[in-house]
Amino acid sequence: MSLQCGIVGLPNVGKSTLFNCLSNAKAQAANFPFCTIEPNVGVITVPDERLTKLAELVHPGRIVPTTVEIVDIAGLVKGASKGEGLGNKFLGNIRQTDAIIHVLRCFDDENVTHVDGTIDPVRDKEIIDTELQLKDLESVEQRIVKVKKIAEVGGNKDAKMEYGVLMAYKEALEQGKSARTVQFDSKEEQAFAKNLFLLTTKPVLYVCNVDDASAKDGNQYVEAVREATKDEHAEILVVAAKTESEIAELDTYEDRQMFLEELGLKESGVNRLIKAAYRMLNLETFITAGPMEVKAWTYRKGWKAPQCAGVIHTDFEKGFIRAEVIKYDDYIKYGSEAAVREAGKLGVEGKDYEVQDGDIMHFRFNV
């Protein structure tokens, strides 16, 4: 399952530094706008402590975590929706992603220039929001021209439904609201809205890039962002990207943990960010465990057992018979699959079983 989160923000807010922390791919990081022109794509391992604990019991040949793709997109500037800077190219790159990681500069550093001269993350957020909203409004208005006459003159129900969706989006966007604030009741409306691929319907995660001293508790800039986004139901993470890049360079786990403890942190900002991005994409993990490997598999929250079987191989879904399910906590408690069976804790589930995060699965099928 190939899903992407796009890292966006104004120039020089720390996007590429953050990307470098996340990925083994080393994006250029320099103190001038438009350093990143082509989007850098990194395949990021999703941290999952459950795999390590299972491996201690199973002793597999290898551990295979799941992954998510992160895309470092060049900095947007005011006027991007009209082609300013490298606007059209950047907006096109954002359109191809499934979710947005919006990096906001929440640190002072006279050695790192800001494209607008002063530090104001709320202003920066509004600039990005406005450019994305203007581009969406342009797309919606173009579509309205095509369906309005059919909806008003003819008896085409689909055209009327489409026109209603477009007008709802137009009204919100003209008020400076993102398209994600508009909700639709019917499945038909929801399906049409999804296929419009508007930029501001994508879920967003705000990352406040701070200095070392603010890594644990944030600062006044972070509080301003919290206040500005309180009605968006969006998650906010506080990350010191420069410090995270230094942590990433350390050779051992022990050294990295010692560094984090000195900052008063239990877990790195990079790990928290990856997990948050995974959740934002509405993804969860089921696990297969055996002597060959302990492996994490990605599925969309709410999927049934046959759909998850298809993640491993399409034949598993086509010929699905049943799923044998062990809850993670039970596996850890009893120590082996055999002990779980003996304790009567192994579940046998059919086609209607909704897979839960952390389920250890074995699929029976026949093709």
User: Each residue of 119-169: pLDDT tens digit?
Assistant: 899 999 998 899 889 989 999 999 999 888 888 776 778 888 999 999 999
In angstroms, the Cα distances linking 273 to 5, 18, 101 are 11, 10, 9
Q: Report residue 15's pLDDT band, with 50, 70 and 90 as the boundaries.
A: confident
Per residue in 65-75, pLDDT (tens digit) is: 988 888 887 66
- Read off the tokens for 204: 């967003």
Side chain identity, residue 333: K
Percent of residues, the chain, with pLDDT higher than 70: 89
Confidence at residue 88, expressed as pLDDT on a 0 to 100 scale: 54
Tokens of 271: 């790990």
Residue by residue, DSSP assigns 239-254 as E-HHHHHHHHH-SSHH
Which has more pLDDT, 151 or 206? Answer: 206
pTM recorded for the entire structure:
0.80
For residue 56, the SS3 value is helix
Residue 304 has pLDDT above 70, yes or no: yes
Task: Check residue 131 and give its pLDDT.
Answer: 85
Q: Give the H or E element holding residue 225.
A: helix 220-228
Residues 290-306: what's their mean pLDDT?
95
Q: Coil, strand, or helix at residue 148?
A: helix
What is the pLDDT confidence band of residue 360, given thresholds at 50, 70 and 90?
very high
pLDDT bin (cut points 50, 70, 90) of residue 31 is very low
Pairing of strands 40-45, 67-72: antiparallel
- Residue listed under structure tokens 């990352």: 207
pLDDT at 61 over 90: yes
What's the rounded mean pLDDT across residues 338-347?
A: 95
Name the nearest CA neighbour of 360 among 296, 277, 317, 302: 296
Torsions phi, psi of 335, nearest 5?
90, -10
pLDDT of res. 78: 63
Helix or strand holding residue 337 (H, E): helix 337-342
Over range 335-351, report the average pLDDT: 95
